[in-house]
Structure 1
Amino acid sequence: MKYVPRLIMFLAIPALLFALPWWTLVAAPTSGASTLFWLGSAVFLLGYLTLPAAMLSGHGTRQSDIASIVGDTLLGIMWVVFSWSVIGTVAGWVLTLAGIDDHARIVAGGVFAISVVLVAYGIVEARRVPRVRTVDVDIPGLGPGLDGLRLVVVTDTHYAALDRLGWSERVVELVNAQQPDIACHAGDLADGSVARRHRQVDPLGKVEAPLGRFYITGNHEYFGDAQGWIDHMTSIGWQPLHNQHEIITRGGDSFVMAGIDDPTGSALPGHGPDLDSALAGANPAHPVVLLAHQPKQIADTAAAGIALQISGHTHGGQIWPFHYLVRLDQPVVAGLSRHSDRTQLYTSRGTGFWGPQLRVFAPSEITVLILHPEPAA
């Protein structure tokens, strides 16, 4: 009985995703009295039955890659169609008030056309090599010897059922082209076990960063084999910052490069964020740059007076207008933000994508953070 509410939600959410688009695209414009109505209804019913079955088979105990691709793609398509069906419903009310006849067909045609264009655009946008986003960040207490240090961030690569080995290799080439002093991966490396996904991850071993390559766990590592990924990243030359830090020195000046686990790891013995342990033994006079997967970890970061937190997790919403829901859980969706006189947060939109192979109005990024001493007041 304890699984009944979860089962209801599992079936109710797809029902909502399909019901409104069915009404907008099939029922309303056909008036429920044509062959087109019955064919359209059959397509929507088949989609409704397929989505939970594919998601369960793809992300449950079976871990079927084919089912995962089908379910994730269908989920993304239906989110786009649902979102524009909501907008279409509002537009239909306006047309009704304006006295325009046959507005249901106008709305259906508009929703269908926009959805097709956005799904095609979203797939191309998700599968392309990310754009480079360069941001200058002033760090309180940063010494002049570190001025201009280039810290390149990738995050949320989510290597999963789709084989993106070639994409991974091109991402590494683009990262190296930025001539990073430090390279960071801010979590959600892959979905699945090391045995199944390491081929896509292994090109990261070719990233060149003379002052260090650092990795932290995201929440998705804890849905699988977090320790396995920590060990694997170590084996290809990356240093996991598992609630720990390193001192970075250049030109006679130093700062602390630290990292903490994702909060999801608290359920696993020996894991979970521990900022005190991460900073234990660090010189308090040195500014701290912290890798923390989720932006909402900024509350503890700001209280500790850390100069800069680097996060991912949000994907910038990934598929518009999902960023409004993300904002309910996270303080920031993307970009550089200030959270105290001393503390800033940079939130990446992510380098890859999770689940649906779509990105709509939320482009992926490889981030180049160029650190500078904070100017004197």
Structure 2
Amino acid sequence: MSGIRRATFLLAAVLLLFGEPWSVLILLPDWPAAVTIAGTTIFAVAALAFPALMFLGHGPRQNDTAAKVSDVTLGTIWVLFSWSVLTHVLRLALDLSGVAAPTRPRIVAAATLAVAAVLLVAGNRIAMRVPPVKPVDVRIPRLGKGLDGLRVAVITDTHYGPLDRTRWSERLVAKVNQLEPDVVCHAGDLADGSVAKRRKQVDPLGGVQAPMGRFYITGNHEYFGEAQAWLDHMASLGWDTLHNRSTLVERDGAQLLFAGIDDPTGAASGLPGHGPDLAAALDGADPDVPVVLLAHQPKQVVQAQAENIDLQISGHTHGGQIWPFHLLVRLDQPTLSGLTRHGPTQLYNSRGSGFWGPPFRVFAPNEIALLTLRAG
């Protein structure tokens, strides 16, 4: 996409995101002039400032204050936009019921604002909480009896970023340890920003306890920053970094291979040796040993199917994070969350433990998945 086309697209997106709720909340209700002027000014200032704040916050400068403001603005305007569109149904119902203007558009405006406020408050509480545990049994026919009942805790998409969530990170680790898992996996999108800026939030992960292995792979967001540095830092915390490689675990004579591949973004990162390489990850693997593959994006299951992988663990989608964004996510990914089958491969896709950008989760709760592997 050329620079002019990209700028035109972004301008149209901003105008639509801010213009629709402005029309529902400010223009159509025919408020007194002072209210209309004040409301229009607020929307205009927000629309003008938003792109600049996003660039300052998430561009090369990574200004955390700008990121916080732009992220809250993005989440708020997305919810307002979505429900401004939906409340046109209410407008039609009121019209058919004979409710006249200006009462009709003012009821619609009040309903839109009320719903948005409730969803944003509840969505923030969900996003900022320590995730609940989601237990899932996964039957792997080739799994040996010695590993029957293996407990695998999955965290992913922690996205440590502009908001200091060090305390949240400590509480997350404490909750994972309470589960007494055999294995813990982090399926990517660890942090947004450099190791120097985010290590305070990430370092509590060094306290995760898992006697049979702690495995980490890169997500796409590592490649917006310092992917290799994050791999090195997680290794320094005692995590086994599955950078296109695998590790064999064994119990009571039964074996299971944990393999990991990079996010597809790594291929264009310019970093030598980065990008998904499943052949390298499985190099030398015994074909009779079942495989659990960590791959950040669910759509990487296409490669997993081709290699008859038993189970793929992914994240990336956040379950859509803020409804109805899941509709756009489904255009790119085969699934949003949960356990699904794709030919010979089962895929568990986590909704993620944290959030990216807007500190809200609307109809897409976060989770710590606890997968209990069952022998066939």
TM-score normalized by the length of structure 2: 0.97
Residues 136-171 of structure 1: per-residue CA shift (max 9 Å, x gap): 000121000000000001000000010000000000
Displacement after TM superposition at 1:192 (Å): 0.3
Cα deviations by residue, 1:74-105 (Å, 9 ceiling, x for unpaired): 00000000000010123212322333223211
1:149 match: 150
**Secondary structure, aligned partner of 1:47:** helix
Partner residue, 2:337: 334
Q: 3-state DSSP class of the match of 1:357?
A: coil
Listed as ranges, the matches of 1:115-194 within 5 Å are 115-194=116-195
Structure-1 residue corresponding to 2:214: 213
Equivalent-residue separation in structure 1 for 2:43 and 2:153 (angstroms) = 44
Q: Give distance in 1, aligned partners of 2:66 and 2:12.
A: 20
CA distance in 1, matches of 2:139, 2:309: 13
**1:3 shift after superposition:** 1.7
Cα deviations across residues 271-322 of structure 1 (Å, max 9, x unaligned)? 1111111101000001100000000011111121111000000001001111
Unpaired stretches in structure 2, ≥5 consecutive residues:
none
Distance 2:287 2:192 in 1: 37
- Counterparts of 2:2 and 2:371 in 1: how far apart (Å)? 47
Distance, in Å, in 1 between the alignment partners of 2:340 and 2:126 is 25
Q: Tell me which amino acid in the other structure corresponds to 2:227.
A: A
Task: Give the Cα separation in 1 of the matches to 2:253 and 2:232.
Answer: 32
Q: Which amino acid aligns with 1:7?
A: A
- How many Å apart are 1:12 and its aligned residue? 2.1
Counterpart residue type for residue 245 of structure 1: S
User: Aligned letter for 1:92?
Assistant: R
Correspondence for 1:276: 279
CA RMSD of aligned residues (A): 1.1
Deviation per CA, 1:176-214: give whole Å up to 9, x if none: 001010010000000000011011000000000000100
Aligned to 1:71: 70
2:35 is equivalent to residue 24 of structure 1: no
Read off the aligned partner of 1:237 and give its amino acid letter.
G
CA shift digits 1:234-282 (9 cap, x unpaired): 0010011011111110111001110000000001331111111110100
User: Partners in 2 of 1:11 and 1:270 — Cα distance?
Assistant: 37
Aligned residue type for 2:39: G
Residue 290 of structure 2 corresponds to: 287
Equivalent residue letter for 1:347 = N
**Structure 1 regions of 5+ residues with no counterpart?**
none
Per the TM alignment, residue 9 of structure 1 is displaced from its structure 2 partner at its CA by: 2.2
- How far apart, in 1, do the equivalents of 2:126 and 2:254 lie? 40
Deviation at 1:45, TM superposition (A): 0.5
Shift of 1:8: 2.0
Q: Which amino acid aligns with 2:337?
A: A
Q: Supply the AA of the counterpart residue of 2:140.
A: I
Hey, what does 1:89 align to over in structure 2? 88
- Matched residues in 1 for 2:96 and 2:294: separation? 52
Q: Distance in 1 between matches of 2:283 and 2:92?
A: 60
Q: Which amino acid aligns with 2:82?
A: S
Please tell me whether the aligned partners of residues 333 and 347 of structure 1 are also in contact (alpha carbons under 8 angstroms): yes
Is contact 1:214-1:241 (8 Å) kept? Answer: yes
1:348 paired with 2:323, answer no
Q: Is the 8 A contact 1:11 1:52 kept in 2?
A: no
- Of residues 364, 367, 370, the one that matches 2:369 is 367
Residue 60 of structure 1 corresponds to which residue in structure 2? 59
Partner Cα separation in structure 2 for residue 110 and residue 328 of structure 1: 30
Equivalent position of 2:13 in the other structure: 13
Alignment of 1:197-276 (within 5 A): 197-267=198-268, 268=270, 269-276=272-279
**Which whole-Å CA distance do the structure 1 matches of 2:328 and 2:3 have between them?**
25
Equivalent in the alignment of 2:314: 311
Offset of residue 10 of structure 1: 2.5
Q: Secondary structure at the match of 2:138?
A: strand
- What is the deviation of 1:61? 1.9
- Out of 19-28 and 97-106, give the one that drifted further: 97-106
1:6 Cα deviation after fit: 1.7
Task: Give the distance between the partners of 1:336 and 1:58, measured in 2 at CA.
Answer: 35
Q: TM-score, normalised by structure 1?
A: 0.97
Once residues 259 and 236 of structure 2 are traced to their aligned partners in structure 1, the CA distance between those partners, rounded to angstroms, is: 20
The answer to whether the 8 A contact 1:308-1:346 is kept is yes
Deviation, 1:14, is 1.6
Q: Does 1:107 align with 2:108?
A: yes
Amino acid at match of 1:23: S
State how many pairs are aligned: 372
Query: Is the aligned partner of 1:3 residue 2:6?
Result: no
Distance 2:244 2:292 in 1: 13
Whether contact under 8 Å (1:30, 1:36) holds in the other structure is: no
